[in-house]
């Protein structure tokens, strides 16, 4: 019996695309030397669903339910960018009260998003307890005092824990240039030494009216990304509290645009009625001509 020969060349294995409890659809092209992984190329972009094509024959209101599927952790943000664009293009004035309400909902969404990142992140590095606390807080997110207490609790439980620090400090470093070249955004970008936040840069909604600071870190490691998100939750609570204290009275929708919309519908209805009457008239005249010649 011949002994099997041992192959010495590398093996390339395709993993995915799948949802391997890694919080997103992922494909990996892995190069193996025996049991050692010597190279790994992540292939991204499997969440594209042709949304732009769908938008071509939808109104803004009809399209909003679709955009919430872009990112299930940022549903309010995808809705915000979808309506902000047409509002700016059409020079539509948003009532101050509506803008404050939007800010409150956006910041609640930010807290919920960061909490859902924090729970599985801690579970991935071996800490299960925060995972259960975080889902409790997500259920209570509309109670702002509970949310505030929750962030402070996480900082006490996690931030100075030596086991946590050993597993995240200096791990997964993304440099400033890499972050820009890779097109990173949000906390991923701000954790790599770039103080860039669209709320400050783009001046959308009413963010300029509130006292808050951009959260960023220089190190670019897993610890920095954690600290940015924890800091942002604290800042979100500050923004929400200020918005609730200062929310103005008045309408929450542009009544002038609503009136114009109503007038347009009336006009459209009248045009349809005129067309229908013309059709009936033409039909009657056609029948008369046929009877005359028949």
In a domain, 254, yes or no: no
Same domain, 24 and 131: no
Question: Is the pLDDT at 121 greater than 70, yes or no?
Answer: yes
Cα 167 to Cα 118: distance, rounded to the nearest angstrom: 14
Cα 31 to Cα 10: distance, rounded to the nearest angstrom: 7
Global confidence as pTM: 0.58
Same domain, 98 and 28: no
Average pLDDT score over residue span 112-128: 85
Structural domain total, the chain? 2
- How confident is the model at residue 132, as a pLDDT? 81
The tens digit of pLDDT for each residue in 157-214 reads 888 889 999 999 999 999 999 999 999 999 999 999 999 999 999 888 889 999 999 9
In a domain, 220, yes or no: yes
CA distances from 109 to 122, 138, 204 (A): 20, 10, 16
Q: What is the average pLDDT score of the chain? A: 82
Range of the domain at 22: 11-43
Same domain, 39 and 178: no
Cα 31 to Cα 272: distance, rounded to the nearest angstrom: 65
Cα 175 to Cα 276: distance, rounded to the nearest angstrom: 67
Give the SS3 label for residue 17.
strand
Burial of 160 (0-12, 13-18, 19+ CB in 10 A): exposed
Same domain, 143 and 232: yes
The tens digit of pLDDT for each residue in 69-103 reads 777 778 888 888 888 888 888 888 888 888 988 89
> 80: Cβ–Cβ under 8 A, 6 or more apart, which residues?
102, 106, 204, 205
CB atoms within 10 A of CB 192: 26
Cα 83 to Cα 256: distance, rounded to the nearest angstrom: 17
What end-to-end distance do the CA atoms of the chain give, in Å? Answer: 102
């Amino acid at each position: 019996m011949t002994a099997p020969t041992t192959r010495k060349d590398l093996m390339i294995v395709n993993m995915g695309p799948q949802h391997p409890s890694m919080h997103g659809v992922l494909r990996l092209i892995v190069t193996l030397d025996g049991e050692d992984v010597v190279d790994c190329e992540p292939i991204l972009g499997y969440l594209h669903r042709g949304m732009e094509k769908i938008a071509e024959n939808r109104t803004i209101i009809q399209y909003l339910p679709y955009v919430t599927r872009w990112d299930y952790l940022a549903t309010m943000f995808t809705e915000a960018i979808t309506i902000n664009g047409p509002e700016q293009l059409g020079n539509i004035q948003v009532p101050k009260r509506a803008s404050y309400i939007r800010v409150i909902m956006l910041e609640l969404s930010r807290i919920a998003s960061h909490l859902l990142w924090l729970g599985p992140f801690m579970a991935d590095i071996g800490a299960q307890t925060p995972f259960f606390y975080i889902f409790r807080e997500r259920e209570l997110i509309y109670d702002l005092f509970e949310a505030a207490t929750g962030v402070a609790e996480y900082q006490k439980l996690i931030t100075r824990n030596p086991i946590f620090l050993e597993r995240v400090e200096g791990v997964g470093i993304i440099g400033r240039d890499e972050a820009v070249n890779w097109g990173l955004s949000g906390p991923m970008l701000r954790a790599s030494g770039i103080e860039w936040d669209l709320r400050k840069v783009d001046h959308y909604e009413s963010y300029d009216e509130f006292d808050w600071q951009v959260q960023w870190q220089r190190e670019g490691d897993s610890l920095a990304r954690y600290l940015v998100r924890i800091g942002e939750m604290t800042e979100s609570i500050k923004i929400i509290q200020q918005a609730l204290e200062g929310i103005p009275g008045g309408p929450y929708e542009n009544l002038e645009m609503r009136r114009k919309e109503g007038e347009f519908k009336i006009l459209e209805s009248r045009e349809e009625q005129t067309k229908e009457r013309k059709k009936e008239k033409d039909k009657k005249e056609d029948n008369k001509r046929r009877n005359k010649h028949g």
